[in-house]
């Protein structure tokens, strides 16, 4: 597909939506307890205490995942979180 280079001298008429899917693996201890917190997320930005996906400030990154976290843990038919070693 060959696309012409865009020209914005007269403004922008619309936008094209693009979507990304990311996988994040949170650690699970030997007892099977998962640690789903911002601090354990690959996209957490420690220097700014912000999420790298939505740029929200993470108030307690060692204890919680923020209310606006875009990640949804994989769950089984009973709603239980699926660990990568027991799927």
In which domain, by residue range, is 73 found?
Answer: 22-81
Number of H helices, E strands in the chain: 0, 2
Residue 82 CA to residue 71 CA, distance in Å, equals 14
Residue 27 falls inside a structural domain: yes
81: three-class secondary structure by DSSP = strand
Residue 87 falls inside a structural domain: no
Determine how β-strand 50-51 pairs with β-strand 44-45. antiparallel
Residue 74 falls inside a structural domain: yes
For 3-42, the pLDDT digits (tens) are 778 888 889 999 899 888 999 999 999 998 889 999 999 9
For 34-74, the pLDDT digits (tens) are 899 999 999 999 999 999 999 999 999 999 888 889 998 88
Residue 54 falls inside a structural domain: yes
pLDDT recorded at residue 75: 87
How many domains does the chain fold into? 1
DSSP, res 75: B
pLDDT recorded at residue 87: 47
Residue 10 falls inside a structural domain: no
Residue 29 falls inside a structural domain: yes
Residue 1 falls inside a structural domain: no
pLDDT recorded at residue 58: 92
To the question of pTM greater than 0.75 for the whole model, the response is no
């Amino acid at each position: 597909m060959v696309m012409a280079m865009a020209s914005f001298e007269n403004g922008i008429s619309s936008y094209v939506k693009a979507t990304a899917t990311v996988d994040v693996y949170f650690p699970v201890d030997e007892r099977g307890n998962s640690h789903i917190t911002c601090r354990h997320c690959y996209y957490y930005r420690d220097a700014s205490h912000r999420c790298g996906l939505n740029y929200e400030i993470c108030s307690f990154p060692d204890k919680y995942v923020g209310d606006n976290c875009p990640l949804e843990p994989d769950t089984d038919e009973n709603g239980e979180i699926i660990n990568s070693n027991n799927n």
